[in-house]
Structure 1
Amino acid sequence: MDKTQLAASPELTQGLGLTLMIGCGLVFLVMAYVIKSKLVRNTHDFIISNRRIGLGFGVGAIVSVWTWAMAVMMSSAMTFQWGLSGLFWFVVPNGFAIMAVIPLAKALRRRMPAGYTISQFIHNRFEQSRVASGVVTVTMIFGILLEILINLKGTAVVMSTVFTIDWRLATLLTVFVVLAYSYFGGLWTSVMTGTVNTWMITVPSAIVVVAVFGLIDGGATTVFNKVAEDPAKLSVMNWDAAAGFGITLAFGLLAATVADQTFWQKVWAIRPNQVGRAFLWSGVLFYPIPICFGALGLVGIAYGLTPADVGGDIVAVGPYIVSHIGLPVILIVAYVLAILAACYSTIDGASSALSSIVAVDIVKRYAPKTSESKLFYITKLSMLAGGIVAAIIVLSGADFTSLVLTTYALKTSVLMPLVLSILWPRTNTLGFVGGIVASIAIGMTLRGLYGELVGTISIVAISAAVVIIAGLASSRSFDMGELGVKRAINLEG
């Protein structure tokens, strides 16, 4: 096996790539228009789907927003960089992170059944504290923007690698396509198109990976024999991989679900008796996806590829293998559609989450007399604004892996304060806000000086310690039963 054997398929034209991008968008646009006419009457329907999402659509929606560019591309990249340790540290925490939401989701759905956002919970939990809710609102918005731009970046990498489309054009086209259909139906559109996207991700990924190994003489045996030339690549518990990204990613993944409005929006939108089951099955069904895509990283190692061969960014190793190994064009198209489905659905879901934050935590909190018609349009326009801001950041040329790890480091600062605020009644405003601020100020500084591992552990430890110390220093204890009787924001019109 040698990388000189790899060559791009001449049939992968820019026109084909653009057709796939636009074609997906048009199909989802038609779906969105039908959804809007049947199910969306007001802002409440737009951002919470009237709390009517069942188990099937719930699982599809959760899997689709969690299977973002990171899952389908970074799994290959980390396997390519670290071998089986990279695949292990990427896959294992991923499904668990979804299931970790279950006890928190059940607790909040029971105590605050009419909720919309996690920032709204914090506002009520800390006695209408605008400081506490403001910190969470800003953090959530920033995290959502990073999610959108990461998936814009992922789409750009795939389309530029497979079809040589200029990555800037791919970025702008993705923003236009996704936001065009998301604008109409909000969460209902995200849920239904996301369920379709889940099928587009899972089935093609399995077929394509099997086909890739089938084109190699000796198949998986040959690949593993080549990878075994570096014994560290076949070690599942390589400490360098754990320290280099694994532990940071594990905490980041927990933070990415627990401290992300994209998932809390689903918690309050899914029918109460299906919340736990939806997140459980989503975590279980997610696992095969990164395993399939991650296997392409082993193929990259076996062929002796280097980062320079794939354009300098190792997240391109999966698309490079698929488009250069000699697969039939139909299978390459299936792979690209799987990537587009993953990126589109996450951008769509994040945009929908952003709209709920704007409606509930900004407009209705600071301008409660805003009319329903005006609120509806502001909510929709916030999705467009978020996409534009994210696109501008992507066009600056930021590195994909750095974006992911930075996003998770910042989200990790919210993880322990948020968990403790749900589970520990003695958590107070000073501890909550102080924990987040101190962990960002100190932990991110340590991260810059000593690397990902030290920075992540510091962020978790500092945020938790500040919350606990402040709680123990105060004799006050919050009655969680009060959440259900506090004045709720009503968007049903």
Structure 2
Amino acid sequence: MNGIMVLVVYAVIMIGATVIFTKRDKDSDSFYVGNRNMGTVSSAMSIAATWIWAPALFTSAEKAYLNGVPGLFWFLVPNIICLLIFIPFAKRIRKEMPNGITLSGYMHEKYRSDKVKQVYLFQLTVLTILSTAVQLLAGGKILSAATGLPLWVMTIALAVIAFSYSQISGIKASVLTDAIQMIFLLVACIIFVPWALDLNGGISSIQLSGISGEFGKLFSESGLEVFLGFGLPTAIGLFAGPFGDQCFWQRAFSIGEKKIGRSFLLGAALFAVVPFSMGILGFIAAGIGFIPKDTGMVNFELIQALFPRWVIVPFMFMLISGLLSTVDSNLCAISSLTTDLKAVSVLESKSKIKISKLSMVLLLIVAVLIANIPGLTVTHMFLFYGTLRATTMLPTMLTLMKIRMTSMGVVAGIITSFVVGLPIFAYGTVLNSGAYKTLGSLLTVLLSGIVGIIVTKAEVRRGKSVR
């Protein structure tokens, strides 16, 4: 019953806040980019909440528990740095395309190529689907354990709640509810971490070397193993994260132009509080010798074991807030991507929004089906779609830096990255091989740029101009 109560209360708060503080949009510009004048603090909280996906809540605790300081470091630090690296590119895309909505639309305008737009649409859409699926999977597992109801029922319930408020006013609903969700997350961290420390003797209960006691130092031999097996492929995927995710480009187009840098900087700082706090719970679990049934849920199980039963209600509320903040951002992202479809671009605002809402429903259906595939884990999905984002990173960065390629170069580079880098990474994930995962990650990032430049030079030699 606790899980059901959390869902009901959560839904009432989010729908109520959206209805009260925003209005149902009939203007597409408002629905997709909030009239391009969103404020610093609300945008920062939205950026932080959107970046707090399932791995930020669970992988951070799991890696701290299993791999100590190196595990948490190689998850937390790249997560922060990637948002900072993104700032100058977010500013530049807004300056170059002040009326833009999507990254794929920007690349289409720069290269005047339907093929470039289509390959970007494919990458951004697949990423949005997988990202949504992993949030539903993580949230569904928790609620299924709490309520005894099947996983598929819980994933559908989460999907329905996210859609119920997102479809009211689009990006404005997402930013508003993200801000509320971020408040819940920060309050929970401030309460639960000191409480867990107090129950277990304070700082002395923290074990920085993981449950095995072998991972105390970042640059030790064991620390290097963590870096090669987890840290490097994770960092590559995370650095590419915002660049291959329409959620962040959409916010770059939605925030007041002079507030973009401050919003992302503050968002990175707010984000850091949550995975760091979850990591401390992982250190505490290691310090007291706690053995979870599922290491991927060690923070959730620790809270269940340490605190009074009623505490699980606000903790689940925090977790669901973190997960659905990404889901509602993905819903807004997929809705904005429909504007790049020729058949949709010529419609009037009201019709565009109807098509966009239909795309939200289709996204959730596919994501629910994926989340219910037997054997899927949050960490494996995180690593895979983190690498998927890297396929478009270099072409995007090079274009924004005015290092231009031909349209064929962009397409050839990204396709090569897909067909070479991703399979190698997937193979390494199945084998749990750090070497293959790292190689796959590097090839995924580098091939799109290297092949793109090689093809561009070959076309230039044949007389093809670079736009």
TM-score of the two chains, using structure 1 as the length reference: 0.87
Displacement of 1:251 in angstroms is: 1.4
Q: 1:323 aligns with which of 297, 301, 304?
A: 304
Q: Is the 8 A contact 1:421 1:432 kept in 2?
A: no
Displacement of 1:390 in angstroms is: 0.2
| Structure 1 residue aligned with 2:411 | 433
1:388-467 equivalences under 5 Å are 388-397=365-374, 398-447=376-425, 448=427, 451-467=436-452
Distance 1:261 1:477 in 2: 29
Distance 2:344 2:159 in 1: 29
Q: 1:367 to 1:58 in 2, by over 3 A?
A: closer
Q: Is the 8 A contact 1:157 1:316 kept in 2?
A: no
Does residue 267 in structure 1 map to residue 244 in structure 2?
Answer: no
| Structure 2 residue aligned with 1:236 | 218
| Structure 2 residue aligned with 1:34 | 20
| Code of the aligned partner of 1:223 | I
Displacement of 1:154 in angstroms is: 1.5
1:305-363 deviation line (CA, Å, top 9, x unaligned):
55xx424xx321110001112x13453322211111101111001101110001x112x
Displacement of 1:164 in angstroms is: 4.3
Q: 1:35 to 1:386 in 2, by over 3 A?
A: farther
Displacement of 1:378 in angstroms is: 1.0
1:72-96 deviation line (CA, Å, top 9, x unaligned):
1111112122111110001101111
Q: 1:477 to 1:277 in 2, by over 3 A?
A: farther
1:366-417 deviation line (CA, Å, top 9, x unaligned):
3543333322211112111111110011011322111111101111111112
Q: State how many pairs are aligned.
A: 453
Q: 1:340 aligns with which of 320, 323, 330?
A: 320
Distance 2:465 2:213 in 1: 54
Q: Is the 8 A contact 1:17 1:159 kept in 2?
A: yes
1:206-285 equivalences under 5 Å are 206-216=190-200, 218-224=201-207, 227=209, 230-237=212-219, 238-285=223-270
| Structure 2 residue aligned with 1:4 | none
1:81-116 deviation line (CA, Å, top 9, x unaligned):
211111000110111111111111111111110100
| Structure 2 residue aligned with 1:378 | 355
Displacement of 1:35 in angstroms is: 4.1
Displacement of 1:210 in angstroms is: 1.3
Q: Is the 8 A contact 1:35 1:188 kept in 2?
A: no
Distance 2:423 2:265 in 1: 36
Q: Is the 8 A contact 1:161 1:320 kept in 2?
A: no
Q: 1:171 aligns with which of 142, 155, 163?
A: 155
Please state whether the residue corresponding to 2:100 is helix, strand or coil.
Answer: coil
Q: Is the 8 A contact 2:207 2:286 kept in 1?
A: no
Q: Is the 8 A contact 2:2 2:146 kept in 1?
A: no
1:249-305 deviation line (CA, Å, top 9, x unaligned):
111112221111000000001011101111111112221211101112223323445
Does residue 126 in structure 1 map to residue 103 in structure 2?
Answer: no
Q: 1:297 to 1:165 in 2, by over 3 A?
A: farther
1:130-209 equivalences under 5 Å are 130-209=114-193
Q: 1:126 to 1:159 in 2, by over 3 A?
A: same
Distance 1:152 1:258 in 2: 23
Deviates more, 1:446-455 or 1:203-212: 446-455
Distance 1:164 1:320 in 2: 16
Does residue 350 in structure 1 map to residue 333 in structure 2?
Answer: no
Please state whether the residue corresponding to 2:101 is helix, strand or coil.
Answer: coil
Distance 2:443 2:352 in 1: 41
Distance 1:302 1:159 in 2: 27
Same amino acid, percent of matched pairs: 25
Q: Is the 8 A contact 2:66 2:212 kept in 1?
A: no
Q: 1:361 aligns with which of 321, 340, 347?
A: 340
| Code of the aligned partner of 1:297 | G
Q: Is the 8 A contact 1:162 1:320 kept in 2?
A: no
Q: Is the 8 A contact 1:425 1:477 kept in 2?
A: no
Distance 2:188 2:124 in 1: 32
Task: In structure 2, list runs of 5 or more residues that go unmatched.
Answer: 429-434
Displacement of 1:161 in angstroms is: 4.0
| Code of the aligned partner of 2:202 | G
TM-score of the two chains, using structure 2 as the length reference: 0.92
Q: Is the 8 A contact 2:68 2:207 kept in 1?
A: no
Task: In structure 1, list runs of 5 or more residues that go unmatched.
Answer: 1-14, 480-493
Distance 1:453 1:182 in 2: 37
